[in-house]
Amino acid sequence: MTLKRITLRDFVIVRELELDLSSGFSVLTGETGAGKSILIDALQLALGARADALAVREGAARADISAEFDAPTSLAAWLEEAGFDSGDSLLLRRTVDAQGKSRGWINGSPATASQLKEVGEQLVDIHGQHAWQSLTRPDQVRALLDAYAGVNVSPLGGLWQQWRLAQKTLADARAAQDSLQRERERLAWQIGEVAKLAPGANEWEGLNASHTRLSNAQALLDAAQAAIASLEDDDAGGLTGLVRAHAALQGQEHVEPEFRALAEVLASSLAQAEDAAHSLHAWLRKAELDPERLAELDQRMSLWVSLSRRYKRTPAELPALLVSWQEEVARLDAAADLAALEALENKARDAYMAEARSLTKLRTKGAPQLAKAITLAMQGLGMQGGEFQVSLQKADQPTASGLEEIGFL
């Protein structure tokens, strides 16, 4: 990766500066106070360092710093996951106002200082007179050896997280066995109570329709019989009256043409009335009073209403409630299946250990090679006879970085 350009506006004492850097090795020289450290401070600010109002040039509203890099492919996944655009270039920008409030951007999208810092750690190493102190940090020591030995620790970190999650899930299940069992027993009792009713998915609507019909059966019978009587009773008119009216008009339609249309209307009405009479007779033949069935419906609907009130649901919701309880019991059974959870934890541990051991082999191979290379370099730096060693010691506990502690001696 390469720093291509750095731009400063109203930063400390700099009004405006745009510095293009060619590929290769660049050196900034100058006497004390010339401003070399200002460039480093500006770069650090763009990379997420702490900001304050002292960064703003006196009299200016805000300081503005931008740093453009060739975008490393190793950052593509991070940029995508964090919601930033990725491309050939990576532009980091930071502003600080006169009150010390800062804002940041990555490729034009708003970013937090911590995000700028996270990106910066993968882009730039800034070494000063105290840079050697980083070698006292175990993570830095490991990173140097891993970089030399070609070790990629990222997959191991993912396997470590999976193992930790499996361990936590198993521990939580063991600790919650009593409460899970109590909850399961409660649900099982409720399921048993509602299951006795065996509520069908659309049964409640059917029960209501049947109950309404049977509870009004006598009124329906009376209405049908009254309608038939009105249609077929000669004294009441009905069908006989329509026949007579039709015949009367039909007999005079040769004199009055309008009677023909009226006679046709009466003929149509007569046909419809006859159809209605036939349909009513058919309905009466199959219709009957069924007090026993009505009593059965009353009893079953009473059970529906009683259970729905107990569990604070409408009767129509009982089937779905039963299904949800059954699903919850299945989930609790899975959570309480310690054997299955132990198997998952073992599988996650084995996957982690296999990857960790492969990294141990690479580090074990790379450590003496790194030690030899640095020892050789030391001889040309006025440290004849000096020896550099890389130690690998088994860690007390596995970590996201592996099974060993690494030290430089």
In a domain, 46, yes or no: yes
Q: Is 60 helix (H, G, I), strand (E, B) or coil?
A: coil
pLDDT over threshold 60, residue 180: yes
Residue 359's pLDDT band, with cuts at 50, 70 and 90, is very high
In a domain, 28, yes or no: yes
Mean per-residue pLDDT for 253-271? 77
Same domain flag for 223 and 310: yes
Domain boundary among 108, 126, 144: 126
Domain boundary among 316, 333, 350: 333
Same domain flag for 328 and 197: yes
- What percentage of the chain exceeds 90 in pLDDT? 14
Residue 397, phi then psi, degrees to nearest 5: -135, 150
Mean per-residue pLDDT for 100-125? 88
Buried b (16+ CB within 10 A) or exposed e, 312-332: eeebbebbebbeebeeebeeb
Whole-angstrom distance, CA of residue 119 vs CA of residue 139: 17
Same domain flag for 211 and 88: no
Same domain flag for 20 and 119: yes
Count of domains in the chain? 2
Residue 216's pLDDT band, with cuts at 50, 70 and 90, is low
Same domain flag for 85 and 201: no
**Sign, CA torsion 367/158/398/136:** positive
What's the CATH number where 101 sits? 3.40.50.300
pTM surpassing 0.75?
A: no
Number of H helices, E strands in the chain: 13, 8
Same domain flag for 209 and 120: no
In a domain, 375, yes or no: no
In a domain, 377, yes or no: no
Whole-angstrom distance, CA of residue 325 vs CA of residue 137: 53
Buried b (16+ CB within 10 A) or exposed e, 94-110: bbbbbeeebbbbbbeee
Instruction: Look up the domain containing 77 and give its range.
Output: 1-126
In a domain, 13, yes or no: yes
Whole-angstrom distance, CA of residue 156 vs CA of residue 80: 21
> E-strand spans in 21-175?
62-70, 89-97, 102-106, 109-111
Same domain flag for 327 and 207: yes
| 126-135, 200-209, 353-362, 379-388: the lowest-pLDDT one | 126-135
Q: Please tell me what DSSP assigns to residue 315.
A: G
Same domain flag for 205 and 323: yes
In a domain, 187, yes or no: no
Same domain flag for 212 and 319: yes
pLDDT over threshold 60, residue 236: no
Question: Taking Cα atoms as reference points, which of 70, 22, 67, 23 lies closest to residue 43?
Answer: 67
Same domain flag for 98 and 207: no
Residue 90's pLDDT band, with cuts at 50, 70 and 90, is confident
Same domain flag for 120 and 29: yes
Domain boundary among 83, 108, 126: 126
pLDDT over threshold 80, residue 293: no
Whole-angstrom distance, CA of residue 26 vs CA of residue 193: 81
In a domain, 185, yes or no: no
For 176-233, where are the alpha helices, taking DSSP H only? 177-197, 203-215, 217-232
Same domain flag for 118 and 199: no
Whole-angstrom distance, CA of residue 96 vs CA of residue 80: 26
In a domain, 282, yes or no: yes
Residue 369, token pair as written in the block: 């090679």
